[in-house]
Amino acid sequence: MKHTLRNTAFTALFALAAAAASATGDHAGGHADGDEAIGKPGTAARATRTIHVDMTDGMRFTPADLRVKQGETVRFVVKNSGQLKHELVLGTERELKEHYEAMKKNPEMEHADPNMVTLAAGKSGEIVWQFTRAGKVDFACLQPGHYDAGMKGAVTVAKTAAK
């Protein structure tokens, strides 16, 4: 019975994601095409700087508070210094919470979008992202238990002066 419920839940989640994909060109949240609230995938050749972020089993990002300028393309080099799998996912707080709830229900779910990097222990990866709007962009580790333990941070996007 438990196996059947898990399959039913996964099927329902998959159907929901498929419906969202047909509407947005991607899975629920529409990350791959860029969510204008948080920006869009960037091109490495246009990155104006590189920011190194470390993830640890203490359920923290270092640094956890970042500052960028509106329009800036940043290359995030992310390292997992822990022994557990971690990830860095950019999004709005609402998107991250929704995605986290789905991950808790389906911890085996694997996915890859331009706004995220998932890393095994000791591995490194990167995200290249253009921040198109001023405001706040959140990021978090959505592995089950990690978000609740405080593994989150924020990017403050400063408005650029009009030319």
Q: What is the pLDDT of residues 84-138, one digit of tens each?
A: 999 999 999 999 999 888 887 877 777 779 999 999 999 999 999 999 999 999 9
The Cα diameter of the chain in Å comes to 63
Rounded to two decimals, the pTM is: 0.76
Domain parsing of the chain, residue ranges: 35-158
Which tokens sit at 110? 């694997």
At the topology level, CATH places domain 35-158 in Immunoglobulin-like (2.60.40)
Work out the mean pLDDT of the chain and round it to a whole number: 81
What phi and psi values does residue 156 have, to the nearest 5 degrees? -90, 120
Our CA angle for 117, 118, 120, nearest 5°, is 135
Which tokens sit at 91? 């999004």
As a whole-number percent, the residues of the chain with pLDDT over 70 amount to 76
Of 78, 86, 85, 76, nearest to 39 (Cα)? 76
Which tokens sit at 65? 């508070």
